[in-house]
Amino acid sequence: MPAGLSEQARSQFLASLRESDIDRYLALLLMPDRVRDDVLALFLFNAEIASVRDRVREPLPGEMRLQWWRDMVAGDRRDEAQAHPVGALLLGLIERRNLPVEPLLAMCDARIFDLYDDPMPDRTSYEGYAGETASSLLQMTAFLLDPAAASQTGTASGHAGVAQAIAGHLMLLPISQARGQVFIPGDLLSATGLDRDSFLAGGNPERAANAVRAFAGFGRDHLGKARVALAEVPGSVKPAYLPVALVNSVLDRAEKNSGDCLSGPARLPQWRRQIQLWRASRRGQI
């Protein structure tokens, strides 16, 4: 691992990631040792901005928090950033690896959507949101693994990120519903005879289940395209896509038991997810 992190600090950061994003934590443990600290910093930053909605009661403080991260990434607030464990870690990564900051800024901007209860208008809007969040994270992870090869991974990252974002929102459906959020695109809801309000009201379980299946099908389409694209990328960057190995099982469960997604997470037990990731690591494919 690169010099800089003590074993104690590394253990604390890993424990934090395990608590906030266990699937990416499990995937990180299977990535090459030489980049693990760098990817850890990136994953912790993502966990910080992805969890802002859970830490605030009103959107405005959330926007202020995201603006703080945006300013820090842009090079401002250096003193404040150095006093923040994850901020300092991320700044060190940006400087040490010449990590492009534009995708990080776009990630902060995209997360503003999470703070409000506005409906997701359509699939194109969802693809844009996922492209600036999950897809960007995959692309930057590929960059850390092999900067030269990462120039060939844009298509794979794009499709894989959309599929991964959909799987994440399927797993979080009960939570997002409880707080009045609907990430299922409006055109998919409309095709099943629903809109945001009727979906949240829960008065038509059959239509809601159809909407969940349609959402999962949208994810499966992108997952299939991601697999085709990943077959063409260099092996040096394939570990970046390990977290995507968990997407298929989520989509399977959502398609077969769509009603269950409305009451509980559509995910396998942790030990089975660990096996999936290990197998994907051995095979070099998702």
Domain harbouring 197, CATH code: 1.10.600.10
The DSSP string of 53-65 is HHH-SSHHHHHHH
The whole-number average pLDDT for the span 221-245 is 97
Same domain, 171 and 56: no
> What is the reported pLDDT for 171?
92
Q: Which residue did the predictor score with more confidence, 79 or 142?
A: 142
Instruction: Judge whether 11 lies within some domain.
Output: yes
Same domain, 135 and 45: no
The whole-number average pLDDT for the span 154-182 is 95
Domain count, the chain: 2
Q: Is 252 exposed, middle or buried (0-12, 13-18, 19+ CB in 10 A)?
A: middle
Same domain, 55 and 23: yes
- Determine if residue 32 is left, alpha or beta; phi over 0 gives left, psi from -120 to 50 gives alpha, anything else beta: beta
Instruction: Judge whether 252 lies within some domain.
Output: yes
User: 């051995």: which residue's tokens?
Assistant: 282
> What is the reported pLDDT for 81?
78
The whole-number average pLDDT for the span 215-221 is 97
> What is the reported pLDDT for 2?
42
Domain boundary among 84, 99, 116: 116
Same domain, 275 and 225: yes
d(CA 225, CA 231): 10
Domain boundary among 116, 148, 168: 116
Same domain, 96 and 146: no
Cα Rg for the chain, rounded, in angstroms? 19
> What is the reported pLDDT for 265?
62
> What is the reported pLDDT for 279?
95
Return the DSSP state at 134. I
Whether 144 contacts 35, CB under 8 Å: yes
Q: Which residue did the predictor score with more confidence, 228 or 82?
A: 228
The whole-number average pLDDT for the span 193-213 is 93
How confident is residue 203, by pLDDT bands cut at 50, 70 and 90?
Answer: confident
Same domain, 124 and 105: no
Instruction: Judge whether 15 lies within some domain.
Output: yes
Instruction: Judge whether 218 lies within some domain.
Output: yes
Domain boundary among 72, 95, 116: 116
Domain that holds residue 171: 117-286
Same domain, 104 and 206: no
* φ, ψ for residue 251, nearest 5 deg: -65, -40
The gap between the terminal CA atoms of the chain, to the nearest Å, is 25
> What is the reported pLDDT for 60?
97
> What is the reported pLDDT for 285?
85
Contacts of 91 by beta carbon, 8 Å cutoff, 6+ apart: 72, 78, 81, 82
Q: Which of 23-27, 78-82, 201-205 reaches the highest mean pLDDT?
A: 23-27
Instruction: For 88-105, give the secondary structure using H, E and C.
Output: HHHHHHHHHHCCCCHHHH
> What is the reported pLDDT for 263?
66
Question: Residue 141: how many CB atoms within 10 A of its CB?
Answer: 28
d(CA 185, CA 132): 16
The pLDDT tens digits for 50-86 are: 999 999 999 999 999 999 999 999 988 878 878 899 9
The pLDDT tens digits for 248-265 are: 999 999 998 876 666 666
Q: Is residue 1 pLDDT above 60, yes or no? A: no
